[in-house]
Every structure is written in structure tokens, then in C-alpha cells.
Structure 1
Amino acid sequence: MLSDKEIILRKARNTELESLYALVTDDEAWTAFNGPYFPYQTPTLDEFAAGQFKRLCEGDTALLIEYENRPVGMVSYYWECESTRWLEVGIVIYDSTCWGQSIGRKALAPWVSHLFKSLEIERVGLTTWSGNPRMMACAERLGMIQEARLRKVRYYQGEYYDSVRYGVLRSEWFAMLEDN
């Protein structure tokens, strides 16, 4: 379990399958910001249990975000290229009533620290798109640097958007923590 003053990052409990499934599927407003240019189909309960829920229960590459004693989203990581130790983080706040409260930034900070402490990596990346200005602001407030902007490579609802890549190096991250 990891925490920030208001946020707890933790593994899912086996008893939470149905409530977490409802969290992800009842209010799917999040899908309009979480790479909507990739096909998404609401999973069945069985698909959710075998995939995302299993990953959250294992807690290695994804953890629940708990805010005010209830799950509201998740943090995760994946290897862009494991052999070169190129790691990317992800975050989704499923509960749209929690948007705009800096929950994402408060959840990503201990997650990034945990990744630097537990994995042999020199950089943590975060990739988003220009159609998600809240995620771009979140990355910048965390102290991540915009490292790349691929212009007009994401096509969604008749409009082109940029893919935006952010990153922070281990030395930069721990220097920022010392300064705060």
C-alpha cells in the first residue's frame, strides 16, 4: 500500500469484483479521454475479472486509487520496451465526480516514487494526447518534462490531435522531492 495525505494506492480485494466492475462500466465518461482513438468495448464481468481485476488484485503493475475511503480509479505501468527499461505510467480516474480535484497528481506522485525505488529504471514516461488537457497539466505539475509532441497523429471524431510524451529522470524526481 502506498499513500499520499488523501490518497491510498492498494491492491484490489477479491470481494470488490462487482463494485469495481460497476465503477469502470457504470460511468464510462473516462473513455472519452483515455485514448478514445483506440477501440474500446465494455468488458463483460468475466472479461473484467480475468483481465483488469486480476491485475489489480496482483498489485504488481497496477493499483487501485482510493480517495475518501472508496476506489475511484487506478494507476498502472507497462513496458514500452522492457529490454531497454523504457517504462510508461498510466492513470485513470473512473469516477467523473472526482475529476478536477488533483487526485491524479496526488496518486501518481507516490506511484512514480515507488517505481523508481522498486525497479531498475532511469526514466518514467507518461504519454497522453492533446485532447486530454487535464492529463497534460497533471504531468507538468508533477514535474515531468514534455519530451515529444507528435503532431496530428491521433484521429478522433473527425479531428486530428497530437500525441504528447512526458518523462522524468530518476535524478530529477528525487531532486524535486528534496526541494519540497
Structure 2
Amino acid sequence: MLRYKDIVLRKPAQSEAQNLYELMVSDEKWTEFNGPYFGYSRPSFEEFLSKTFNRLQEGMSALAIEYENRLIGTVTFYWEDKNTRWLEAGIVIFDSTLWGLGIGKKALVPWVTHIFDTQELERVGMTTWSGNPRMISSAQNVGFTIEGTLRKVRYHDGVYYDSVKLGVTRDEWYSTAFPT
């Protein structure tokens, strides 16, 4: 369990599976910002349990975000290339009524710290698209820097968007001493 201010990152209990699934599929506005150019297919409850929920319960590369005593989203990481120690982190707040409150920013602080504390690497990256300015802002507000922009490589609803690469190094992260 990881804490920062009013945010808790933790493994969900088995009894929370249905509620988290219902949140994820009842307010699918998050799919408009979480790489919509890849397409989204609502998982069945069984698919959710075997993939997403199982990964959250393992607690290694994903945890649930708790805010005000309820689960509202997830933080994750994946290896872009484990051999070269290239890791990418991510965050999703499923409840769109909570967007714009700084919850994502606060959830990134313990998550990125946890990644640096448990993984042998020098950089944590995040990749998003120019159609998700809140993600870019949250990452920058905790110390990530835009490292690159791949212009007009994400095509969605008849519009070209940029892919935005952000990153923070271990030294940069720890020199900020838990950014606010």
C-alpha cells in the first residue's frame, strides 16, 4: 500500500472486483483520452477479472487508486524494453467527475517513487497524445519533461494528433523531494 496526501495506491480486495468493473464500464469517457486511436472494446466481467483485475491483485506492475475510501482508477507500468530498462508508466481515473481535481498528479507521486524504489532503472517514461492535455499537465506538474513530440502520428475522428513522450530521471525525481 502506498500513500500520498489523500490518495492510496493498493491491491484491490476480491470483493471490490464488481464495483471496479462497474465503474470502468459505466463511465467510459476515459476511453476518449486513453489512446482512443487504438480502439476500445468493453471487456466482459470475466475478461476484466482474468486480465486487469488479476494484474491489480498481483500488485507488481499495477495498483488501484483509492480516493475518499473508494476505488476510482489505476496506475500501471510496462516494459517497453526490459533489456535496456525502458519502462513506461500510466494512470487512468475512470470516474470523469473527479477529473481536474489533481488526483492524477497526487497518484503519480507515490507510483513513480515506488517504481524508482523497486526497479533498477534511471528513467520513467510516459507516453500520451496531444488530445490528452490533462495527462501532459499532470506529468509535468510532478517533474516529467516533454522529451519528444512525434508530430501528427495519431489519427482519430478525422484529425491528426501528436504523440507526446515525457520522462523523468531518477536524479531529477529525487531532487524534487516529493513534488506538489
Q: Is this a same-fold pair by TM over 0.5?
A: yes
Q: Deviations over 1:34-87 (max 9, x none)?
A: 000002100000000100010011111000000000001000000000100000
Aligned match of 1:88: 88
Q: Give the alignment's TM-score, normalised by structure 1.
A: 0.98
Superposition RMSD in Å: 1.1
Tell me, yes or no, if structure 1 residue 26 matches structure 2 residue 26.
Answer: yes
Aligned match of 1:145: 145
Aligned match of 2:154: 154
Code of the aligned partner of 1:150: L
* SS of equivalent to 2:35: coil
Asked if structure 1 preserves the Cα contact closer than 8 Å seen for 2:76 and 2:90, the reply is yes
How many residue pairs get aligned? The number is: 180
Tell me, yes or no, if structure 1 residue 177 matches structure 2 residue 173.
Answer: no
* SS of equivalent to 2:42: coil
Q: Give the alignment's TM-score, normalised by structure 2.
A: 0.98
1:12 Cα deviation after fit: 1.1
1:179 Cα deviation after fit: 8.1
Runs of 4 or more consecutive aligned structure 1 residues displaced over 6 Å after TM superposition = none
Q: Distance in 2 between matches of 1:134 and 1:85?
A: 27
1:178 Cα deviation after fit: 7.1
Aligned match of 1:42: 42
CA change 1:46–1:76 in 2 (3 A) is same
Q: Distance in 2 between matches of 1:89 and 1:77?
A: 4
Asked if structure 1 preserves the Cα contact closer than 8 Å seen for 2:143 and 2:179, the reply is no
CA change 1:82–1:73 in 2 (3 A) is same
Asked if structure 1 preserves the Cα contact closer than 8 Å seen for 2:62 and 2:76, the reply is yes
Gaps of 5+ in 2: none
Q: Distance in 2 between matches of 1:178 and 1:114?
A: 12
* SS of equivalent to 1:177: coil
Q: Distance in 2 between matches of 1:4 and 1:37?
A: 32
Code of the aligned partner of 1:12: P
Q: Distance in 2 between matches of 1:111 and 1:178?
A: 11
Gaps of 5+ in 1: none
Code of the aligned partner of 1:40: Y
Code of the aligned partner of 2:71: P
Q: Distance in 1 between matches of 2:13 and 2:22?
A: 15
Q: Distance in 2 between matches of 1:75 and 1:63?
A: 5
